[in-house]
Structure 1
Amino acid sequence: MLRKNILALDIAFGPAAACLLRRDGSILTAGGQDERPHSQAIMPLLEGLLKRGGMQWNDLDMLAAGIGPGSFTGLRIAAASIAGINSGLNLPVIELSSLAISALQCESEKAVHVIEDARAGLAYCACYQGNKALMQDCCMSWDDIGQLEPEGYTAQHTDKERLSGWLYLPPSTPRPVAMSRLLLSTARELNDIESLPRVATPAYLIASQAERHAPQN
């Protein structure tokens, strides 16, 4: 059984979610309801979590981050925060799907689609059963999603009227708790920890709005 102190952060869909897995098997979680901008609130959130666990930064063995897809700003802040923390620690970083975290918030034994509006006529889409991906994270047009067989789905920000015929599954588990469960199962399956990256690379899947509207050379 993996005995590591692992600190994780996800900001893909609004409020920050953080969790701390400890070597003794205990799990601490925290959610960001701070009204300050993420750039100002993230470090106090993480420091508070470490303090609750009686730990300091150099007690950590690994880091983890929700890499998206999701809000471009949130993904960048999460990745930058992990990079800043790790600049002096050089710890392995576990990359987590933010859509998988959303699926685990439903606590459904059946397959759960996660469908999030990506704007510009597109949506982020995946399908999970527990922590197992039945359809990998991808970006699809709403027209293509309309061709899928309607099933149970969850979302943080998608307009339900766009998915008529689908069964909406509201999140029942706090996001930090769902992330801790995904992190625990992912960490247990690791075979080569040292080969993990030292930075988190956001999975944007599509170009940002600024990039889409940039003049072409």
Structure 2
Amino acid sequence: MSAKILALDTATENCSVALLVDDQVYVRSEVAPRDHTKKILPMVDEVLKEAGLTLNDLDALAFGRGPGSFTGVRIGIGIAQGLAFGAELPMIGVSTLETMAQGCFRKHQAQHVACAIDARMSEVYWGRFARQEDGSWLQVDPECVIPPALLAENSQVDEHVWRTAGTGWDAYPELSELKFERTGSEVLFPDAEDIVQLAKLDWLKGNTVDAEEASPTYLRDTVAWKKLPGRE
């Protein structure tokens, strides 16, 4: 089924927009940590003009719902809601961690991806994902915010080699102590080019929300260490 979906993301240092029109994707992306508010709407205008469409021609609007920078996540959802309200579009929120897993699939055909975003405060936003036959991703480790040393302490060996993605791997040497086998990738940030592919899966399943119901994911409310083995 054809789809016209606009995706945007400002949850991390990367600022990105992608427009999916059937099988064609129009993209803009730039690492610009302090200029998201200046760059995101011009990027939206550029991809719409390149495709010869307006917001009213679209089927849905997707956004990176986090986790990530508190300010960045709020900027992204605020702008996305404004655009969706104006064009009366349904919305689809996509995890930034899952988006990086999709980026590793796009670049490396990776089927198992371990994602770690530097969350500051000596913690990472963490999640591990396994690709399913329908192109979706199963959460092997639930998304959480956690100290890297605690994560390594409670990790276990398994049979897979995990592609790594995100800024957390370089920021925290403690992650080198994780017990499962890993291999690197150049995927440091989520990108709307990957959000839009995941959003299409949700759109085909009817998994959308009205603009007023769109919500972010911060994870700071999750006390991850209480949920690890032996710490219930």
Aligning the two structures, in what range does the TM-score lie when normalised by the shorter sequence?
A: 0.7 to 0.9
Per the TM alignment, residue 33 of structure 1 is displaced from its structure 2 partner at its CA by 4.9
Note closer, same or farther for the CA distance 1:67–1:160 as it changes in structure 2 (3 Å cut): same
Determine the C-alpha separation between the residues in 2 that align with 1:74 and 1:206: 15
Kept in 2: contact 1:102–1:171 (CA 8 A): no
The CA deviation string for residues 82-120 of structure 1, in whole angstroms up to 9 with x for no partner, is 122123222110010000011122224442111122222
Note closer, same or farther for the CA distance 1:75–1:109 as it changes in structure 2 (3 Å cut): same
More helix as a share of residues: 2
Per the TM alignment, residue 34 of structure 1 is displaced from its structure 2 partner at its CA by 6.1
In the alignment, what sits opposite 1:13? 12
In the alignment, what sits opposite 2:144? 138
| Letter paired with 1:164 | S
The CA deviation string for residues 26-71 of structure 1, in whole angstroms up to 9 with x for no partner, is 2222113568721111110101010011011221221000101011
Determine the C-alpha separation between the residues in 2 that align with 1:41 and 1:53: 19
| Letter paired with 2:61 | L
Determine the C-alpha separation between the residues in 1 that align with 2:34 and 2:124: 28
Determine the C-alpha separation between the residues in 1 that align with 2:167 and 2:103: 11
Q: Of 58, 61, 64, which aligns to 1:63?
A: 61
Secondary structure at the aligned position of 1:120 is classed as coil
Determine the C-alpha separation between the residues in 1 that align with 2:96 and 2:200: 15
Per the TM alignment, residue 139 of structure 1 is displaced from its structure 2 partner at its CA by 1.9
Kept in 2: contact 1:105–1:171 (CA 8 A): no
Determine the C-alpha separation between the residues in 2 that align with 1:21 and 1:57: 12
Kept in 2: contact 1:7–1:20 (CA 8 A): yes
Determine the C-alpha separation between the residues in 1 that align with 2:57 and 2:65: 23
Determine the C-alpha separation between the residues in 1 that align with 2:207 and 2:36: 32
Note closer, same or farther for the CA distance 1:15–1:116 as it changes in structure 2 (3 Å cut): closer
- Which structure 1 residue ranges, 5 or more long, are not aligned? 208-217
Q: Of 155, 167, 170, which aligns to 1:148?
A: 155
TM-score (norm 1): 0.81
Kept in 2: contact 1:68–1:98 (CA 8 A): yes
Identity %: 28
| Letter paired with 1:171 | E
Secondary structure at the aligned position of 1:105 is classed as helix
| Letter paired with 2:211 | R
Secondary structure at the aligned position of 1:203 is classed as coil
TM-score (norm 2): 0.76
Note closer, same or farther for the CA distance 1:37–1:29 as it changes in structure 2 (3 Å cut): same
Determine the C-alpha separation between the residues in 2 that align with 1:63 and 1:104: 18
RMSD value over aligned CA atoms? 2.5
In the alignment, what sits opposite 2:117? 116
In the alignment, what sits opposite 2:227? none
Q: Tell which deviates more after alignment, 100-109 or 30-39.
A: 30-39
Detail structure 1 runs of 4+ shifted over 4 Å in the superposition.
33-36
Determine the C-alpha separation between the residues in 2 that align with 1:122 and 1:184: 31
Per the TM alignment, residue 74 of structure 1 is displaced from its structure 2 partner at its CA by 1.1
Q: Of 220, 229, 232, which aligns to 1:206?
A: 220
Secondary structure at the aligned position of 1:164 is classed as helix
In the alignment, what sits opposite 2:43? 45
Determine the C-alpha separation between the residues in 1 that align with 2:172 and 2:31: 25
Note closer, same or farther for the CA distance 1:58–1:181 as it changes in structure 2 (3 Å cut): closer
Kept in 1: contact 2:116–2:125 (CA 8 A): yes
When the two structures are aligned, how many residues end up with a matched partner?
A: 202
- Which structure 2 residue ranges, 5 or more long, are not aligned? 222-232
